[in-house]
Amino acid sequence: MVKIIKLLDNEKKSKITNLILRALPEWFGIEEAIVEYTNGVKNSDLYVAYLVDTPVGFISIKHNNIYTSEIYVMAILKEYQGNGIGRKLLETAQEELIKNKVKFLMVKTLGDSHPDNNYKRTRGFYNAIGFYPLEEIKEIWGEENPCLIMLKAM
């Protein structure tokens, strides 16, 4: 049974983010990005999925303005992917966003023009839970890593 807990302790946020991201080199293989996310989650709402006492995934939400929040980073350990944990994390975060009258949730992911199959699955997940592609931009992460912005109405 998975339980979702919103963490408030910044050191725990960083520790769990670092642990899970490093276990997923297929998605998070750039050291600078791991360090940035590990520090950046301190300024976000972080929800962690636990199986018993073991963290198996998380979602980090940052607030861009009163209307729009963003999935800053989200990760589920590979052996637990496809079991509804990501959906449950997102639903938990969305409940709070809706209570706070947020209108939109966005996410940035690797764009369609990049051939990476892992990110193809990631885009499929986001699409299946109600996100739609808004725009692919090469200026955010560079030509070699096209950034796809996806959006969901709350």
Mean pLDDT for the stretch of residues 42-60: 97
Supply 8's token pair: 């408030």
Length of the chain counted residue by residue? 154
Residue 81's pLDDT band (boundaries 50, 70, 90)? Answer: very high
pTM equals 0.90
Residue 122's pLDDT band (boundaries 50, 70, 90)? Answer: confident
- pLDDT in the model for residue 67: 97
Mean pLDDT for the stretch of residues 35-52: 96
- pLDDT in the model for residue 117: 84
Residues above pLDDT 70, as percent of the chain: 100
Give the DSSP letter of residue 84.
S
Mean pLDDT for the stretch of residues 26-46: 93
Q: State how far the Cα of 41 lies from the Cα of 19, in Å rounded to an integer.
A: 13
Residue 121's pLDDT band (boundaries 50, 70, 90)? Answer: confident
